[in-house]
Structure 1
């Protein structure tokens, strides 16, 4: 790879800074030019010299600390023109045992992409190899950007997937969702009624509230763009010790781009099908004479375009992310950054269910909304200040503070045909009522899977919400390396806290109605024909406010994680965290609605306070410096107000509790160019919340759920321009026990595919072309954990004496279920391709082709609607480097 494709190490932007240092090597250039390449090992070796043989004991960790230890143990001097901040961005695996000094230094630099040479009898020079093509990081990402994790990735006892910058670039990724398609065990979901934006599951459990930005929870309901991503990090398995509430299946962290020491301007322009236009700019300007070395970086983005196969969906996004770092060459570094992101979309909630599957007929491209009336608007502002101070090579303080404001407005049409079944009833069982019409719930639904699609009417359910979410947060952390009784410890300990607010206001378009003696609700918005919806029909309907909610949560968390190095082969780590999560909720009753309208009753101030510890313990066995085998145990919890939503019923419930067990192995091959990971895991939720289907106010911790399986991944940067990203996950999910939904026991959890597989491979082709081919497989997914299958056909009404009906204690009329079917979406394969070619040293051409077979598939399922994936589309771009 060339200078255009730089893969960050611990922090990718610091690795970029080494490119500037390359230009400044100056007096050391002749020494580095003398470096030759050892054909057997591929490592740089210096000319023969009588360097001492010593017994080394240099710990894994920051490279600058390793250099200090090397100099102390050998009496030699390491010379480098790299900035202190740039060196601090690299990690070393350390070195132990008896070695010649140059061999020890080679081992220390293994995987960093740095080279060394001997200048004289007392000095070694470290820098970049003199080459027209410089690859700062010859291997894969070696460490996480978050300081919560003190060990290199290969020694971190947890499944961690990093989607680095080169993958984002090769695949032409523009959103967080597309970046996460490179991680096995993740599946996408459609937004809930009040939660638009990125919704997904990790290892079988929702991660809607487990998305972080630079280590702090990114609470907003918006669709995240990748223009300011340095890399995306996914930690799977409960991570309650590091991140607090939630994280049942894991967390996602977006690592932002930040200033570095190299001057550059990168501009990308993309044009494609569906009127797609996208321009991004990444500008970094060093300010070496300001504040002990400073740098300014600005990222900007403008994106407009449609969605292939969905003719009325439109995405319009704009973003700006400036950041300024002071003290790059000092022990104290301060970065202030601002992130503004605006989206003004025409949203599309896709297609309707009809009982167990997508409604019949040729409806792939049908749109059931109102293109001139539907909207999704957000305008997010995030201001972050980050301070890092090194007291010594072994002790550092890290503090990050954030203010975030996430306003949004949405009006989205959800297509529906029949009501959802309240429970799964087996063949031969009885129900008290037949499915009702989604248009008028006082009437029986007139349609079945055997109905003529031309006769089926689709309800246009209007989801309208106006809300402001906010976040004020501070996180301060101390990392330290020290010895106790000659045993090395790597400690991360911190305190964090702040407040989060959510103030949604919801509007409804349904009015009470009655058919005979049956009461229900009637939608005032006109229905649409399933096969031929009138997309030009003017919007009509009467809306009124139904709820006005105010929620504020105040949190504080204290945590520490310590890793103890018990000799050369064994590392043990443990941690504990205590959280206090205090939520106050109230709901006001709106003004009197129109006749027939129904509003939520007022809820006086309701409070829930959760104080709870979480734990973590792990053991790592290292057969050598290139591999590890580990066992990991962790806990997490989900309070009722986790997503800042509470009620009188849920305020009395203690949190759901989760436990995770994981055994895994990691190994680096080909001089750190290829990393392999495999893990076997089991996650248990021992007290899942369940809502009584006959009484929504009766909510209990009454269910148990589990997900167990195996996960494999391989990420590599190999010779001949070959990049490799492969992942596979097998998830065996099931409902273990349930009080209100016993028929669901043994069935898989909602939106959890049993198998997922992803790959993307690139390689050099002829005439300086590089080509890439990739694909994703996602297995079939059910719509609901509590109602995995639904009745399809029913017998005639049967009348029973009061108290003797088999369909309920108060029922007198029952219908026998004659057939059932799983309510699920089928699995799918999607394939993508890429080709790129440098035209000059500063201009690169790239073309990406997505869904090359134009497959029709459901990408984001929801119990009440289905969002198809994009059809065949192409994007052609030009990348400019200055």
Structure 2
């Protein structure tokens, strides 16, 4: 039986051209009005002025999902939020997450410490290594994150455990994945660049009735300005959306990323600075440069709207991460001038991590006492398993700093995990949490955000080497409050207070000295302003804050082998940002941060690698925190087809060790971009480090990783 809705003789679609034609005829004729007595009069011309269509703002974001548990206007969030949109990522050819994050004020990229590899981040002076999220759900595996499937990256700054649980001291990094839009099309990208860089990406999507799908694909094969370095990376990110009914959607997304590369921390430190050697100088072994990662993440999200006021979203995520790698770490320097040598160590390491998280979020928007009100509440349950093994190689020799002669691995190379292991531990953790958060509009000008979260975090660790076990159970309340004043539609001023906590097993590791310690406590005080300029095309943001850890772990003054919670660390800072259109064809993203990060109280002593003296950490600046840092990026559309742009990435000098004897020098890197745009294709050339400046992106006590020298990439994007 035919559908009665489609059996009309004149379907609506067929009437549209007729209606347009009749409208045109009516407009062409003199406007006439008839009165009841039958007389007619000619009306005066009426001019209708239509508002010009608004094209999307390339660098400015209007909303964020990271400041609350629902999409919120950034001006309504009483906290500093930075959003790096895909347009800025594409303009800079920022293929790695850490490159995209260079646009975020107060954030620096760190070298992995100890057993850690992959993305290592410092935010407002505190480590954010375990504070990575994907679409608002924890995604904390250790690997190098790629941007091939990312729509935007949001960074919420300041203590934020009410939203994200344990950690979140300096803030969190949340990636928003590309999802089906219901459209049909495909975009292919091809990049070739210096050091035999080759990269292919595809973004394809389609829809049929109530099902829409999208597939993002990546293959990358590249060399490096660093000798004996190369990387091969494969990525697949399919996503699907099923519209069950008008109020119910089911979203399924998968991420598979595998990579083969080289463990390389760069050049050794010499007399408190990176050794003055060419940036390509490699100090490892010519073979056995193992660095393999395999990441798999599956997410299912069910969202349902009960009515116009009440909705729920339940998300289940399963993550599996595996790493196999050979470390290459530097040891003590034997200072003999030009004949100086540096000790080396090597270890075979493997870790397997499995996560399961279930997150349920309710949003209830209903006026209360006549005032607008948004109530958010929900729960989170998570289970994480982490298995880590490490075995040292033997007979690893020292090497000349200024004239290294490379050889194959030593005869004592660790090739498997048989025999005696340095580390062999298994850790499992469980999270149970519930939260409530309310945004109440006192008046059109004043809004209050207040809430709290309760976490129960349990961890158990089995040490197979020491045949010992540890466990720890912590419960924690995490309050948050904020006040927003918006005198008009372009101004927004706020004050916020937030807290966070760091349990001993935050990074899935316990020891005898930490198993009996309750969590460290953090709090963030912040005053900020958000202002729209030029009719809302350009946003300006500023914030002054103090972030402090009130009971940091430090050595017991009566027994240096024990740890107590008697230290303090704080960061006082100021941030400023601009994002959007300065002029209709001029897009800008600018950020600046001033950070004064200090260990204000500590009993811990450490030996300086330059002086050889034992020093207290009290009064020392935090590691990897430049006092001044910022980025300015501009994009000019000279014509609709031609685009030119570029920018400067700047950081002042910063300490790489905890007793402030080893320094990474300040730098300013200048990049440029030229692009030609057509309907079905774009051609873009990026030039990095135009001045060929020698600089170091990250470092630690005994090593520094050089940044890229003068180089270029050409990208062709084809769109259908």
Relative to the length of structure 2, the TM-score reads 0.89
Render the CA deviation track for 1:824-879: whole Å, top value 9, x for unaligned: 111111111000002x4201100001111111111111123211111111110100
Unaligned 5+ runs, structure 2: 1-12, 24-30, 32-48, 415-419, 606-614
Flag the 1:754–1:30 CA change in 2: closer, same or farther, 3 A.
farther
Per-residue deviation at 1:140? 2.6
Per-residue deviation at 1:648? 1.8
1:146-545, aligned counterparts within 5 Å?
146=66, 148-149=69-70, 151-287=72-208, 289=209, 293-308=210-225, 310-327=226-243, 330-359=246-275, 361-418=276-333, 446-447=334-335, 451-453=336-338, 455-510=339-394, 524-543=395-414, 544-545=420-421
- Find the aligned partners of 2:499 and 2:635 in 1 and give their Cα distance: 39
Residue in structure 1 matched with residue 671 of structure 2 by the alignment: 832
Three-state SS of the structure 2 residue aligned to 1:541 is coil
Residue in structure 2 matched with residue 854 of structure 1 by the alignment: 692
* Aligned CA-pair RMSD: 2.4
Residue in structure 2 matched with residue 736 of structure 1 by the alignment: 600
Per-residue deviation at 1:388? 1.0
- Find the aligned partners of 2:274 and 2:570 in 1 and give their Cα distance: 28
Three-state SS of the structure 2 residue aligned to 1:650 is coil
Three-state SS of the structure 1 residue aligned to 2:581 is strand
Per-residue deviation at 1:692? 6.3
Per-residue deviation at 1:456? 1.5
Flag the 1:258–1:831 CA change in 2: closer, same or farther, 3 A.
same
Three-state SS of the structure 1 residue aligned to 2:72 is coil
- Find the aligned partners of 2:161 and 2:14 in 1 and give their Cα distance: 45
Query: Do the aligned partners of 1:280 and 1:301 also contact (CA within 8 Å) in 2?
Result: yes
- Find the aligned partners of 1:265 and 1:842 in 2 and give their Cα distance: 10
- Find the aligned partners of 1:767 and 1:489 in 2 and give their Cα distance: 44
Give the number of aligned pairs: 668
- Find the aligned partners of 2:630 and 2:321 in 1 and give their Cα distance: 34
Residue in structure 2 matched with residue 103 of structure 1 by the alignment: none
Three-state SS of the structure 1 residue aligned to 2:367 is strand
Per-residue deviation at 1:531? 1.9
1:68-79, aligned counterparts within 5 Å?
none
- Find the aligned partners of 2:456 and 2:449 in 1 and give their Cα distance: 24
Unaligned 5+ runs, structure 1: 1-23, 35-47, 49-114, 118-127, 419-445, 511-523, 590-600, 789-821
- Find the aligned partners of 1:142 and 1:405 in 2 and give their Cα distance: 34
Flag the 1:676–1:508 CA change in 2: closer, same or farther, 3 A.
same
Q: Choose from 655, 667, 682 the match for 2:531.
A: 667
Q: Choose from 614, 623, 643 the match for 1:750.
A: 623
Three-state SS of the structure 2 residue aligned to 1:832 is strand
Residue in structure 1 matched with residue 707 of structure 2 by the alignment: 869
Flag the 1:277–1:695 CA change in 2: closer, same or farther, 3 A.
farther
1:26-37, aligned counterparts within 5 Å?
27=16
1:81-160, aligned counterparts within 5 Å?
129=53, 135-136=55-56, 140-146=60-66, 148-149=69-70, 151-160=72-81
Per-residue deviation at 1:354? 2.6
- Find the aligned partners of 1:469 and 1:709 in 2 and give their Cα distance: 35
1:691-706, aligned counterparts within 5 Å?
691=555, 697-706=561-570
- Find the aligned partners of 1:414 and 1:138 in 2 and give their Cα distance: 42
Query: Do the aligned partners of 1:781 and 1:827 also contact (CA within 8 Å) in 2?
Result: yes
Flag the 1:555–1:27 CA change in 2: closer, same or farther, 3 A.
farther
Relative to the length of structure 1, the TM-score reads 0.73
Three-state SS of the structure 2 residue aligned to 1:197 is coil
Three-state SS of the structure 1 residue aligned to 2:626 is coil
- Find the aligned partners of 1:539 and 1:374 in 2 and give their Cα distance: 13
Flag the 1:27–1:620 CA change in 2: closer, same or farther, 3 A.
farther
The answer to whether 1:633 aligns with 2:497 is yes
- Find the aligned partners of 1:328 and 1:285 in 2 and give their Cα distance: 17
- Find the aligned partners of 1:458 and 1:30 in 2 and give their Cα distance: 83
